[in-house]
Structure 1
């Protein structure tokens, strides 16, 4: 294969990949509407209250992602979303520039290594909580004993999609659409995107 053939094959693969991605997105949207996953207003309020608390009270916010692609992408998307929310708050004159800059300068994230094991357990929580006042956990958190800590703590917010038997429906600081195991297509990044 010469260079010209290589680029032609790459272009064809790229076009096919785009078609497959669009088909997947359409399938996902159809499945999502079948499952009727909606985020409650109380979840949104709890999330914005957490951000407000961090901005107003000069608190450090740590985003704890996961080591797989979904967890990493969720982390990146949430960081960008938090930045956009912060800038929108600034435009609406809800905060002064110095508070927003200070908050964003303290915003951090942690992606564990695969060898660290899945999810945030109590030991990992005790370690990461030394570095932040508030914590957002992505793509995990509802299948471990850590969930019991999160249920009682308004400085923790969880976005998860893995099937859980935990009773989390009454907790505004936990979003997981897969509480009954019926959600066949689900990703952590979808929760962040919503």
Structure 2
């Protein structure tokens, strides 16, 4: 199993990154909460990974820390939750916020995310409440102000491209195209880059 990747960040296209390790480029899908913490393109980065092997694909999922990876691994053990839905959940809320939802049986916040109906949310709470106890108690129920990288804003990026990139990322995370476009339009303001749009759109959806 590939448990950690350290190399040069050469591409960032939410929710996927490309990291060069000794000449080999690893495509890694990351939840947006981890994506926001990435350095600028060209800098060295370390991500903790989970390797998924399917009949038709081999996929790498990356995380900023071991806690988020551990939570992802518990999520995909739950009935009806695959890697894509796990990625969506951890893009819509921080690891500590998800823990708080489960601990306090906050089904309504879970239902706000795509792919999660009321029955699925209730099942997640029942299945995970005891298993997630090892992560500790938390009162964090607000999305953190996560840092963006420092490679300049989006002043040179056409507005339409910024919006389209953000909408495409939301679709990749499970939102329907029309819903993604509406979410982007609802938070967009002049000067925003795609990562900020995605972050604000996901926060507003909760």
**TM-score of the two chains, using structure 1 as the length reference:** 0.22
Kindly indicate whether structure 1 or structure 2 has the higher relative contact order, using CA contacts under 8 Å at least 6 residues apart: 1
- Higher helix fraction (1 or 2): 1
Give the number of the structure whose residues are more often strand, by fraction: 2
Tell me the TM-score normalized by structure 2.
0.21
